[in-house]
Amino acid sequence: MLTLLFDGVAYGMLLFILAVGLCVTMGLMNFINLAHGAFAMLGGYVTVALMQRHGVPFLVCLPLAFLASAAMGVVLERTLYRPMYKKPHLDQVLFSIGLAFMAVASADYLMGSQQQIMQLPDWLRGRTELFADTPFVLGMGHYRLFIIAVCAALTMGLQYVLSATRFGSRLRASVDDARAASGLGINVNVVFAATFAVGSGLAGLGGALGAEVLGLDPTFPLKFMVYFLIVVAVGGTTSITGPLLAALLLGIADVAGKYYIPKLGAFIVYALMIAILIWRPQGLFVRQGGKS
Amino acid sequence: MNAHTSLLRAARWQPLELVFWALAFASPWVLAQHALIINEIAIVALFAVSLDLVLGYTGIVSLGHAAFLGFGAYSAALFAKHIHPDPLLGLAVGMAAATLLGALCSLSIMRGSDLTRLMVTLGTALILLELANKFSDLTGGADGLQGVIMGPLLGQFEFDLMGQTSAWYSLAVLLVLFVLARRLVHAPLGVTLKAIRDNRLRAMAIGIPVTARLAVVYTVAAGIAGAAGALMAQTTGFASLDVFAMDRSADVMLMLAIGGVGWLYGGIAGAVAFKLMYDVIANITPQYWTFWMGLFLVVLVLVGRERLIRPWTWVSAASRKEGAS
């Protein structure tokens, strides 16, 4: 019971790190980016390749995965994404699906279509059980504990940057109303490029962390695209607490659903999402006053 | 020329259209060895026309239109297997089932932003996929629904292996539903749909009942998609889980993007182009065809469809720029 909750939280935290970049870019530029999972996949493959072929330690791989995805994000943002912001949503959807298709086929070509196996370092394997003799037994995999710690630290860092720094207030202003913000002298393009890079980097980091939990194969961007979009659609795009809660909810619902009613699998998650979106079309957690 | 006659002129049948349909019906006969692919093209064209009603004419971005295709396919296949093998009866059942589902789902697309609608439609298709997978006693699960044997069409035309009967059957259904869709978009109802697409708030302000119109068009489009699904199940004698897959919804969106949205022939032209392109690419590189498809999509959107299909405008635009500078 508690173990399930724990696993759900770890899964949810991971989804949050994967999807937070998508939330901010969607809120900022109103751009529907279905290729976000490709950045996560890049991070995952960078980690696996570095660890297996070059023997780089796991902890060094994580920042490298972040940097690789962020660099890719900057390059793509400057070259391909920027002309798309003003286009209608249909074009954006087509464009980003096309990118995702290309990423899937390229990964297949470069790394092979098999599932990649991640060799965790010894200190992350194993499991600790708390309250072992009571009905509330809590089994914690060390790796999942590590994921929660990293993601919680990142979330607090993001929250700090958003709420207490000058860049954060510029970002919030741009999300609320890009035109008014640029009228006040904020360079929205630079803010956006930086946000896009960090968002892609975080997705890469999430992909690296999640390669062991979520599985890593070339169909990753399409398989998890739905989950990222659920986080964004349910959480709303105006804050990061909304997506965080949505991701936790999704993680717990998914793990619990698959454990208690394995026959219906992902059904629970989709049904929950549709019900929430019919009830609150703009997402569960919408801040009043912002431009929707 | 007043508004009345100009609206009527747009709705009139052009000679070129009649030629097109005559050619379409002659094709299974002339290209007898390609009758199977003509059949496939007719079916996906019907599917694309259905999405065009929703996406091109009403502006609802749907990434889950395969829900209705699959529902129609499974309904028709199950009906043929367990109740009656007559194709036309099965087609009616598939359409009716998909129409009902569409009426139900139209409730879910009324509110919210494009992203919300994208997610709700996608979620609907995924839920149906999960259900079809889990109720494997009825649907055959991941193995697909096999052993669907169709009776002869109209009691006398057997479905043959060459696929000529299938091709004519699908083309005939495509024509009938296309004419219906054509009437619909040129009727006052269709004009109000375009008004809703262009500006929902203003459409509401001039007294168009927006929710009711959305419900009607979504239901009709679902019925047409159901017909496409039923045709698919009947002419292949098979229904499998991939009819619900997201690839289907993405593919049909791509067809519309190639052919042009908001234009009924766009769906048909896109379907022809897509199928032929798919055949060529999949023959060259069967494993990595998605890469080229993706590249094509990216280029299509970046360059713009209008410019891509009119290469001669590149030169003149460039020379005009030079002349200006």
> B311 and B169: one domain?
no
**Record: contact B300-A100, CB cut-off 8 A:** no
User: Would you write out chain B's pLDDT as a tens digit for each of its 325 residues?
Assistant: 577 777 777 778 888 888 888 888 888 788 878 888 888 899 999 999 999 999 888 888 888 899 999 999 999 988 888 888 888 888 999 999 999 999 998 888 887 778 888 888 988 998 888 888 888 777 777 777 777 777 777 767 777 767 788 888 899 999 999 999 999 988 888 889 989 988 888 988 998 898 999 999 999 999 999 999 999 988 888 888 888 888 888 888 888 888 888 888 888 988 998 888 888 888 887 777 788 888 888 888 888 777 666 666 666 554 444 444 3
Q: Who among B55, B115, B290 is closest to A32 (CB)?
A: B115
> B208 and B276: one domain?
yes
Q: Chain A residues with CB inside 8 Å of B270's CB?
A: none
> B292 and B145: one domain?
no
CB-based contacts of B266: which residues, under 8 Å, 6+ apart? B48, B52, B56, B256, B259, B260
∠ CA(B56), CA(B57), CA(B60), 5° rounding?
70
User: Do the domain assignments include residue B245?
Assistant: yes
**Record: contact B123-A105, CB cut-off 8 A:** no
DSSP readout, A197-211?
A: HHHHHHHHHHHHHHH
Q: Who among A91, A230, A282 is closest to B301 (CB)?
A: A91
Amino acid of residue B33: Q
> B171 and B311: one domain?
no
Q: Chain B residues with CB inside 8 Å of A104's CB?
A: 290-291, 294
Shortest Cα distance from B20 to chain A (angstroms)? 29
The reply to whether A281 touches chain B by the CB within 8 Å rule is: yes
Predicted TM-score (pTM) of the model is: 0.85
Element (H, E) at A250: helix A241-260
Among candidate residues B78, B76, B77, B49, the one with its CA nearest the CA of residue B65: B49
pLDDT digits (tens, 9 = 90+) for A149-188: 888 999 899 888 888 899 888 888 887 788 888 899 888 8
Using CA coordinates, name the residue in chain A closest to B289. A105
Q: Which of A152-156, A214-218, A249-253, B273-277 has the lowest mean pLDDT?
A: A214-218
pLDDT digits (tens, 9 = 90+) for A66-119: 999 999 999 998 888 888 888 888 888 888 888 988 888 888 888 877 777 777
Q: What is the domain extent for residue B233?
A: 20-284
> B117 and B257: one domain?
yes
**Count of domains in chain B?**
2
d(CA B5, CA B167): 37
> B90 and B204: one domain?
yes
User: Do the domain assignments include residue B323?
Assistant: yes
Q: Domain spanning A2-279 has what CATH number?
A: 1.10.3470
> B233 and B140: one domain?
yes
Dihedral of the alpha carbons of B237, B242, B243, B248, in degrees to the nearest 10: -130
- The torsion angles phi and psi of A8, rounded to 5 degrees, stand at -60, -40
CB-based contacts of B260: which residues, under 8 Å, 6+ apart? B56, B266, B269, B270, B305
